[in-house]
Amino acid sequence: MAEEKSCAPKFRTSIGGQALIEGILMRGPGRQAIVVRSPDGLVVREEELTLVRDKYPILGVPVIRGAVTFVDSMVRGVKALMFSADYFPEDDAAQPSKLDLWIEKHFSDEKAQKLITGLAVVLSLGLTIGLFFLLPTFLAGFVDPYIKSAAVHNVVESVLKLLIFFAYMLLVSKQKDIQRVFQYHGAEHKTIFCYEAGLPLTVENCRIQKRFHPRCGTSFLFVVVVISILISSVVFSFVEWRNLWVRFLMHLLLLIPIIGVAYEFNRYVGGHDNPVTRFLSRPGLWLQNFTTNEPDDSMLEVAIKAIELVIPEEKGKDAW
């Protein structure tokens, strides 16, 4: 389907969001808001943002701040996702798992919530690292007996990383339960575009905006994969590339600089509009065909409500 043309942005905002189960998380410079369309109507949760890098300035320096922001966003995102899921419980007849019963028995509600959030974050990180970093390295090891060059190994591993990444995106986009979440993802982008264009935040104005945004997490993840390929290709030219455990260890050690560089790249591309940045952002925008769908009006209403709650009173405070 042809993508609608949005109005030219008057400025670029630092406000960002995340699609939830029948809802949206919006995060501004000082506040974050969760809006969920539950069976009983809209549910809103607001909170002030306190960033760890404000307390420890060293965590706000370039590259380091990228890794800190990534982990912080993941933790907040998991909490928001769990909050939205509470309004859409599974079948009441379903029996709780043994893990649920064990946690309920040994921990208070508050500690259980922190434990479950921590486990979810660890599992998400583990899945990301295992799928996009360690699995390609493991699979590339099968061709090592037939090659004599680190460069060839790097090419094989890089191709596997890209194939696994694209296959993952394609498979996820085909999941029926996820398609509505991706509609909310599209609503989030359209609403941010509308706000950046300086238009009144109405369903009509948001509907005509594009759903592909250059500062999307999908673009960020793709940049992480590409930068990991570039950095690994250099580093593995100087280490024992045939040793699987050495390669695993190097991938883990390189995670922070890779994520940090990817964050700075997205920050620069998202804050500038010129032929070079438009060219660099094209792959990430194209990938959003898999992770965003056209929203309906009710989803746009949720996104509008969420962004209105985080727009700062001081004009321009959220400028990118």
- Assess contact for 157 and 140: CB atoms under 8 A: yes
Q: How far is CA 129 from CA 83, 251, 253, 286, in A?
A: 25, 9, 12, 23
pLDDT at 4 over 90: no
At residue 259, the 3 state secondary structure works out as helix
CA angle 34, 91, 83 (to 5 degrees): 15
Q: Report which of 48, 7, 2 is spatially closest to residue 310, judged by C-alpha positions.
A: 48
Q: Rounded mean pLDDT of 75-90?
A: 84
Q: How far apart are CA 246 and CA 251, in angstroms?
A: 9
- Assess contact for 186 and 211: CB atoms under 8 A: yes
What mean pLDDT, rounded, does the chain reach?
86
pLDDT at 102 over 70: no
pLDDT at 3 over 90: no
Whole-number percent of the chain with pLDDT over 70: 90
pLDDT band at residue 97 under the 50/70/90 scheme: low
Q: Taking phi first (over 0 means left), then psi (-120 to 50 degrees means alpha), and beta for anything else, what does residue 63 get?
A: left
Q: Rounded mean pLDDT of 232-236?
A: 85
Higher pLDDT among residues 230 and 51, named by residue: 230
Q: Phi first, then psi: what are they for 93, rounded to 5°?
A: -75, -15
Higher pLDDT among residues 69 and 102, named by residue: 69
- Assess contact for 10 and 320: CB atoms under 8 A: no
Beta carbons within 10 angstroms of residue 129's beta carbon: 15
Q: Rounded mean pLDDT of 88-117?
A: 64
| Least confidently predicted of 200-204, 237-241, 250-254, 265-269 | 237-241
pLDDT at 295 over 60: yes
Structure tokens that stand for 19 in this block: 């699609």
Helices (runs of H) and strands (runs of E) counted in the chain: 13, 4
Over the stretch 10-62, which tens digit does the pLDDT of each residue have? 788 999 999 999 999 999 988 999 999 998 889 999 999 887 777 788 888 88
* For the chain, domain boundaries: 16-88+98-310
Q: Rounded mean pLDDT of 250-266?
A: 90
- What is the pTM assigned to this prediction? 0.85
Residue environment code for 34-69, b if the CB has 16+ CB neighbours within 10 A, otherwise e: bbbbeeeeebebeeeeeeeeeeeeebeeeebbbbbb
